[in-house]
Structure 1
Amino acid sequence: MTDIVVWHRADLRTVDNAALAAATTEGDRVAPVFVVDPAYYGDDGLACDARLRFLHECLADLRRQYRALGSDLALLSGDPRERMTVLLRSGSEVYCNRDVTARRARERDRTLLDREGVTVFGDDGIRWPDEREPDGTVGVDTRDGWDEHCEAYFERDQHPRPDALGPNPIASEVTVDDVETRYDVTPEKAGVPEGGTVAGTERLSAFVDRLADYPGIVSPPAAAEARSSRLSPYLKFGALSERQVYQRVQSAPDSRGRSMYTSRCYWNRHYHQKLADWPGWTDRAVNPVFRGLYRDEHDPAFDRAWREGRTGFPMVDAAMRALTETGYINFRMRALVATFYVYVLKQWWKPGADFMYYHLVDADPAINYTQWQSQCNLTGVHPVRVYDPAKQCREYDPEGEFVREYIPELAALPDEHLPRPETTPVHVQASSGVDIGTDYPYPIVEYDHEAAAARDHYAALDDRAKEALSDPRVRRRCSFSNRGRTVENDSDGDEGGQASLSDF
């Protein structure tokens, strides 16, 4: 009798799970397993406690799903490479779904996924060619016919949940409570959605009911926080599949909101394809001309002010405080704070991207790092779009709802002074009980000067960046996958406006 270990990774669900469906059809005994890797906990991990708690809630929900089928989810602890090796040596087969990974997870997969006895399923809309350059860049053009390939994934029938399973032959070594106690997982963030397929399905249904409102809530940060889908953590951990979300959205009445959200489903797959094509996105600039840009200009005071939300630019500061307090900011605010860090503060992109990745509950390397590089034009193909924080405040928080929520020291200022508090007349400060420079800092840099300097710097590098793109490897990393697909444009009219990107 052969045991088939269904190794759950970023697929914490029993519906639309290719590995589980195949194991149920082909195996004598099915053993669902998740390995708790200590490397993702503690001071060296790049995951905040709120994200770990969300993962644990997904695991508890997945365990309930398996128990309803007559089985259970076995929680093991340790390095997955060692744990899977032991199971393979015992005669078990391992089935798992392919995932787009980076850094430690990629090394884990390189060690395990080609092993005899391991079967990998790639039904996710991503192309996985074997041809690779020595630096890891994909050796073929994955974009030729990519739209059709991705659309076929979205439109195919979902893999059904098994009707029933036998008892899991593998026993759990730990419980979720054990793990939380061992690593002192005590989230401090507020307003974090509950993890798990049940909670994700409820959230998806509620969002689809208000999908027609999506165009008006996607960009204002307060509205997005309260009423956008907030499905990205469920997709990150696979409590829902991208196909489940896509097909549920298609069941809604036709509207611009449905069209916009559909485009984001494709953008989600697009950026996962980018990381699958070249794993270096998380570590170094995709265009070699921009590698190390501003690394030598590191300013600890600027970096600290940005992280703490004390730059003197209210929209930036509110977004950074929201990020650290809730683990969420919408796409527009992610673009704002990233470009402010690089273009305006002249800081090397990597520490900022890592900081955001740590705090986001929905942190996905394929979205976070590719977006940082794209927004800060480390590709050489994107526009140098220097978001104006005051303009963003006037247009997307005109009544100060977002700024007042996260910068209460400015709450008493009249609306018209929130975009640029430093220009507030002294008598207005006095009548409002707000002292700029004491209660809230003056801007740490002069925006117009730094924005112009950034544009000039990138313009001076433009010829070299374009020359680097003549290398087929660099060109394949930087090019787009959305050929032929119409994508809604959310540009606010800023210089160099670009099409909307992943905004779950």
Structure 2
Amino acid sequence: MRRYIADPILASRAVMLQVVWFKRDLRIADHAPLARAAAAGPVLPIYIVEPTLWQQPDASGRHWAFIRESLIELRAALANLGQPLVIRRGEAVAVFEALRTKRGAFALWSHQETGNDWSYGRDLAVGAWAREQGIAWTEIAQQGVIRRLGSREGWARRWDQMMSADCAEAPVSLRSLDVDPGPMPPQQLPWLAPDDCPGRQRGGRSEAQRTLHSFLTERGGHYHRELSSPLTAAESCSRLSPHLAWGTLSIRETAQAAVTQLRMLDAEPIDRQASWKRALRAFIARLHWHCHFIQKLESEPRLEFTNTHPAYDGLRENEFDEARFAAWCEGRTGLPFVDACMKSLIATGWINFRMRAMLCAVASYHLWLHWPQPALHLARLFTDYEPGIHYPQMQMHSGVTGINTIRIYNPVKQGLDHDPDGIFIRRWLPELEKVPAVLIHTPWRMDERQQAETGVRLGRDYPLPIVDPIEAAREARDRVWAVRDGAEFDRQAEVIQQRHGSRKAGLPPTTRPRKKVAQAQLGLAFEDPADDPPDNPANGRA
């Protein structure tokens, strides 16, 4: 918890206005700032539509659409308590200063936020303003992320303690204030391009609760077996990720609901218990990884922009191919499973974790694209965009952390493994509808007769591959592994491991022979005896 107080005595005087600043926490349940502010005095709940925030390169219309739906429900929930949500447009410091000028000093409450670099700078500016004006600003942690963390030792235990703590109770009522709540902003903000996403999940607390309930009681029984394939993941995964990202659910109430459901399974028939218990334990573990990744960006904000391990600086930056990047962004690489995944993501705002990892790997290895630009493109597409998870995972899948294994997904093999009959491919690439299963993953192998029979003219109806996936992977592997040669690389990797490594999963020592490390090292979040790491949707993407 961080507190900016110019004069502690001033903050303890007569009851004053308590301003609760909602950001990525669009709910009243388990909302500690709201609960504590309501106990201290009259509450003014506020959400600020910040123009500069929505002009950032990681912002998109689908993000705003989800938030707006959530704001409508949040305003109604607060109105039911007695004081509706106040919405203002402008930069945060200017909005708060206008409020102070009109109503005098107030206490400011919010949750801590691990956002992007812009939001970090915004919070620093608000903190400086608060100190200058004698405004007490109390920030309270809402996830298992620890500000100014000195060491990762004991981090998992502290996460467990926070998740086990009682959820903050919503106020019974709020005093009505004579403040114009302001209009609900329009569906299309002026700073954002149109963003049609017909399959996007809807925002709002009620939708979050329905999604959580259906996962824990109906959809989630085969979660651990069905989260890898895009054919089954959309139904079997929790689909809670956007609600966790924008805070219509807290991670604590989600974890506690899962634990409660797990305990209730003891009363179920034995044949139902086994699958459900394994599924829920896997889900709870992934909630842990949710915060594990956000902690990385909280501890080292530069990870939004620069390689974790500096030895990789300059590896790809000067070879960025704009044509390849555009083909990847638009789903026209000529690699059907890759293109189908991208088309699905564009249309729905979500795809399962393994496919996210594959999209990142293909961009970074096969197409040799430096990760920041692909990261921004995916950030705009993911309805569940969470900066603290997004950037560390982009680096992990791009092989620039120095402590994770180089995992180059074969896009053809991934398709054969997870969409063997090409059902998913045909759904999102209808131009390949008539291509038989034996060729659906490698249509470039069709001869002229087969092209005529299927109505697919390669290079016209569907592109030829922009790279040879086998040769491109081989070249990328050699180039990336070559960087890891030398004692200095190992020394810096050990520093990174000490700062960001999970003490729960661990890593083989960096001093082990490289060939053995390459075989054994499965990465911070992926300690598993299988050939591939378990899908690890750290953002609740499971």
Q: TM-score, normalised by structure 2?
A: 0.85
Task: State whether residues 394 and 419 of structure 1, in contact with CA within 8 Å, keep that contact through their aligned partners in structure 2.
Answer: yes
Structure-1 residue corresponding to 2:536: 500
Find the aligned partners of 1:292 and 1:352 in 2 and give their Cα distance: 17
Which of 229, 233, 247 is the equivalent residue of 2:238? 229
Structure-1 residue corresponding to 2:221: 212
Displacement of 1:491 in angstroms is 7.9
SS at match of 2:77: helix
Displacement of 1:185 in angstroms is 7.2
Find the aligned partners of 1:223 and 1:493 in 2 and give their Cα distance: 21
- Provide closer, same or farther for how the CA distance between residues 151 and 214 of structure 1 changes in structure 2, counting only shifts above 3 A: same
Task: State whether residues 215 and 238 of structure 2, in contact with CA within 8 Å, keep that contact through their aligned partners in structure 1.
Answer: yes
Find the aligned partners of 1:38 and 1:501 in 2 and give their Cα distance: 31
Structure-2 residue corresponding to 1:11: 25
Structure-1 residue corresponding to 2:281: 259
1:188 aligns with 2:161: no
Task: State whether residues 292 and 348 of structure 1, in contact with CA within 8 Å, keep that contact through their aligned partners in structure 2.
Answer: no
- Provide closer, same or farther for how the CA distance between residues 472 and 397 of structure 1 changes in structure 2, counting only shifts above 3 A: closer
1:389 aligns with 2:406: no
SS at match of 2:46: strand
User: For 1:54-100, what per-residue CA distance to the aligned partner results, in whole angstroms no more than 9, with x for missing partners?
Assistant: 01011111001101111100001100122223435621110111111
Displacement of 1:457 in angstroms is 1.1
Displacement of 1:411 in angstroms is 1.1
Find the aligned partners of 1:92 and 1:389 in 2 and give their Cα distance: 56
Which of 92, 107, 115 is the equivalent residue of 2:106? 92
One-letter amino acid matched to 2:199: G
1:448 aligns with 2:457: no
Structure-2 residue corresponding to 1:133: none
1:32 aligns with 2:70: no
Structure-1 residue corresponding to 2:169: 160
Task: State whether residues 112 and 118 of structure 1, in contact with CA within 8 Å, keep that contact through their aligned partners in structure 2.
Answer: no
Structure-2 residue corresponding to 1:398: 420
- Provide closer, same or farther for how the CA distance between residues 492 and 323 of structure 1 changes in structure 2, counting only shifts above 3 A: farther
Task: State whether residues 259 and 488 of structure 1, in contact with CA within 8 Å, keep that contact through their aligned partners in structure 2.
Answer: no
Q: Which residues of 2 match residues 314-325 of structure 1 at below 5 A? A: 314-325=336-347
SS at match of 1:459: helix
Q: Which residues of 2 match residues 475-486 of structure 1 at below 5 A? A: 475-480=497-502, 482-483=504-505
User: For 1:242-280, what per-residue CA distance to the aligned partner results, in whole angstroms no more than 9, with x for missing partners?
Assistant: 111111111223511101111110010101111111111
1:126 aligns with 2:139: no
Structure-2 residue corresponding to 1:296: 318
1:72 aligns with 2:81: no
One-letter amino acid matched to 2:71: L
SS at match of 2:485: helix
Which of 202, 206, 216 is the equivalent residue of 2:210? 202
Task: State whether residues 60 and 176 of structure 1, in contact with CA within 8 Å, keep that contact through their aligned partners in structure 2.
Answer: no
Displacement of 1:157 in angstroms is 1.0
One-letter amino acid matched to 1:150: W
One-letter amino acid matched to 2:47: F
Unaligned runs of 5+ in 1: 130-137
1:342 aligns with 2:355: no
SS at match of 1:303: helix
Find the aligned partners of 1:185 and 1:175 in 2 and give their Cα distance: 19
Find the aligned partners of 1:491 and 1:361 in 2 and give their Cα distance: 32
Displacement of 1:14 in angstroms is 0.3
Task: State whether residues 287 and 469 of structure 1, in contact with CA within 8 Å, keep that contact through their aligned partners in structure 2.
Answer: no
Find the aligned partners of 1:478 and 1:498 in 2 and give their Cα distance: 20
**Identity over aligned residues, as a percent?**
29
Task: State whether residues 54 and 192 of structure 2, in contact with CA within 8 Å, keep that contact through their aligned partners in structure 1.
Answer: no
Find the aligned partners of 1:414 and 1:361 in 2 and give their Cα distance: 33
Structure-2 residue corresponding to 1:305: 327
Give the aligned CA root-mean-square deviation in angstroms: 2.4
SS at match of 1:334: helix
1:366 aligns with 2:402: no
SS at match of 1:257: helix
Structure-2 residue corresponding to 1:148: 157
Task: State whether residues 24 and 245 of structure 2, in contact with CA within 8 Å, keep that contact through their aligned partners in structure 1.
Answer: yes
Displacement of 1:53 in angstroms is 0.6
One-letter amino acid matched to 2:209: T
Task: State whether residues 75 and 84 of structure 2, in contact with CA within 8 Å, keep that contact through their aligned partners in structure 1.
Answer: yes
- Provide closer, same or farther for how the CA distance between residues 352 and 491 of structure 1 changes in structure 2, counting only shifts above 3 A: farther
Displacement of 1:484 in angstroms is 7.6
Task: State whether residues 413 and 432 of structure 1, in contact with CA within 8 Å, keep that contact through their aligned partners in structure 2.
Answer: yes
Unaligned runs of 5+ in 2: 1-14, 266-275, 508-523
Find the aligned partners of 2:105 and 2:233 in 1 and give their Cα distance: 50
